[in-house]
Amino acid sequence: MFTSALNPEQRAAALSALATEEFDILVIGGGVNGVGVALDAVTRGLKVALVESQDIAAGTSSRSSKLIHGGLRYLEQYDFKLVREALHERELMVSTQCPHLVKPVSFLYPLTEKVKERTYVGAGLALYDALRGFKRALPSHKHLTGKTIANISPSLRQDIITGAIRYFDAQVDDARHTMMIARTAARHGAVMATNVRVDNLTRNGKKVTGVVATDLKSGKTLTIAAKATIMCAGVWSDELHQQFGLTPGYSVAMSKGVHIVVPQSAIHSKDGIILKTAVSVLFLIPWGDKWIVGTTDTPYEGDRAKPLATQEDVQYILDQANRVLEPKLKTEDIIGVFAGLRPLVANNAASATTKLSREHTVDRPAPGFVSLAGGKYTTYRVMAKDAVDLAVLDLRRIVSDSVTEKLPLIGADGYFALQQQVLKIADDYNISEATVTHLLDRYGSLISEILEIITADPSMAQRLIPDLPYLKAEVLHAASHEGALSVEDVLLRRTRISFEASDSGLSAADTVAEIIGETLGWKSADRKNSVQSFAKVISEEESALKALVNS
């Protein structure tokens, strides 16, 4: 009945619907929480729209550590409810909701002391495993001796590491997962448009009746009518509450987190590594044939759309990792860097409208308006459900309960069967088995959409960049099915070439513009502008790295 494809035709139809129809729920913000709300609401049978000022996942939701986890550190704060909830979500994602996107990953917790530390950490990890309940998609933790560690993780310093405990969590390409939730919501009928910025609210007396927004592509103003509006604006929440003249029950502080990316050869370890630091933890996370290492945690007050790593951020990560690594990581090892902003919610104790929660907050500062902020990526589904439960009070009718716990994302159906058919698909389409696996892990059963492109034009089976697995067909598909509207959308979020390629994807930018230009109806000036603005983003993101290398 509905299509999940996000592309210029779909966007044009969405803009027309936004301007003319009334929605039950309008969502502001296309991060994981916003798309999660859209999916929750539309699958309850509601009429739903979502607008995002930049690209899907352009905010924090493309810049996380990419872990789907219970959060070991919450155990130390005795927040068992939160850990149990997150572990439940982790098990759902790995086993049924999106096994094509969320994959188990093993971590070593290195020990430097033989008895006390092992007992303490071991007890914590036993509890972490126990809190999963009876659904257990991931293996349990295991104690390892110093000798075993030397084999598994030769890069860990033998002179100080006495042993380790291995435990499992899961990882995801956050930007891709968020986009797949958006496509799933579209598949069920949600109307979506990116590059549409909400500027103000419309009201009837005190009741919020929708928003005034700008289509940033045409500059046109849109008035969107909705019985209830749900804002999921992450670190933009304070700014927008103020702009809308609302007094919310909470405020959002920003904390910056930076990650660096290094090649596989820089760290010899079969497992990921977690290190306790003075302020938090540092993860060394396997990422294809690279490692993602981070993160930092520092207060931030700059431009919300452009958090940048500083020289100090990068140095801190190197110093912390090098406490346990031999050989040490060097500045020259770093291929990429990215920074994100955590929306840290501080609840206003005096507020009567805020549902207090340790991690996330759902607030209703005006009739017809709900806002959601905080929490963690892993628990987006639960937060979305909470926000919709509150917003439907304004619909004044009985609305069904959330069904997202039982709802696989698009691409999940048939994924496990397709994994058994890699050889056949490779033969049928004359591509390598490694390429089929790469595609299955990014598209699941939607691999058929990529294979159709390759069938129509076999040259699309070529790699975009020789040493990264992305195909030209995936670039075209990003514009024809995944809502990419610029070179930046393709290289930063639909693929992760911006932090995986040694030149950040700059040499591929013209080809990307060429491939997506036709689908996007571009003239040559549009291509040039899109390439130039991508180059500007990269040069800003890498300034800290360059300064460090040159220092």
Ligand X SMILES: Cc1cc2nc3c(=O)[nH]c(=O)nc-3n(C[C@H](O)[C@H](O)[C@H](O)COP(=O)(O)OP(=O)(O)OC[C@H]3O[C@@H](n4cnc5c(N)ncnc54)[C@H](O)[C@@H]3O)c2cc1C
Query: Which residues of this chain interact with ligand X, rule CB under 6 A?
Result: 28-34, 51-54, 58-61, 63-67, 69, 197-198, 232-236, 240, 257, 295, 340-343, 375-378
Q: In the complex with ligand X, which residue's Cβ is closer, 179 or 450?
A: 179
In degrees, rounded to 5, the angle at the alpha carbon of residue 362 between the alpha carbons of residues 307 and 195 is: 45
Q: Which DSSP symbol is given to 489?
A: I
Q: CA 220 from chain center: how many Å? A: 30
How far apart CA 423 and CA 126 sit, in angstroms, is 39
**Minimum distance, C-beta of residue 456 to ligand X, in the bound complex (Å):** 33
**Minimum distance, C-beta of residue 282 to ligand X, in the bound complex (Å):** 12
**Minimum distance, C-beta of residue 385 to ligand X, in the bound complex (Å):** 14
How far apart CA 478 and CA 491 sit, in angstroms, is 10
Would you tell me how many other CB atoms lie within 10 Å of the CB of residue 250? Answer: 24
How far apart CA 481 and CA 6 sit, in angstroms, is 5
Q: In the complex with ligand X, which residue's Cβ is closer, 210 or 234?
A: 234
Q: In the complex with ligand X, which residue's Cβ is closer, 93 or 478?
A: 93
**Minimum distance, C-beta of residue 447 to ligand X, in the bound complex (Å):** 26
308-338 burial: b if 16+ Cβ within 10 Å, else e: bbbbebbebbbebbeebbeeebeeebbbbbb
**Minimum distance, C-beta of residue 85 to ligand X, in the bound complex (Å):** 11
* Residues 6 or more apart in contact with residue 418 via CB below 8 angstroms: 425, 440, 444, 445, 447
Q: In the complex with ligand X, which residue's Cβ is closer, 199 or 514?
A: 199
Does residue 532 sit in helix, strand or coil? helix
Task: Compute the chain's Rg from CA coordinates.
Answer: 23
Q: In the complex with ligand X, which residue's Cβ is closer, 64 or 269?
A: 64
* Residues 6 or more apart in contact with residue 77 via CB below 8 angstroms: none
**Minimum distance, C-beta of residue 234 to ligand X, in the bound complex (Å):** 3
- CA dist 536 → 160, 267, 290 (Å): 44, 31, 25
**Minimum distance, C-beta of residue 378 to ligand X, in the bound complex (Å):** 4
**Minimum distance, C-beta of residue 445 to ligand X, in the bound complex (Å):** 25
Q: In the complex with ligand X, which residue's Cβ is closer, 32 or 490?
A: 32
Q: In the complex with ligand X, which residue's Cβ is closer, 56 or 453?
A: 56
Q: In the complex with ligand X, which residue's Cβ is closer, 164 or 258?
A: 258
- Sign for the pseudo-dihedral over CA of 526, 531, 532, 536: positive
- For the chain, the straight-line distance linking the first and the last C-alpha, in angstroms and rounded, comes to 58
* Residues 6 or more apart in contact with residue 445 via CB below 8 angstroms: 100, 411, 412, 413, 414, 415, 418
**Minimum distance, C-beta of residue 125 to ligand X, in the bound complex (Å):** 18
Q: In the complex with ligand X, which residue's Cβ is closer, 137 or 426?
A: 137
Q: Which DSSP symbol is given to 471?
A: B
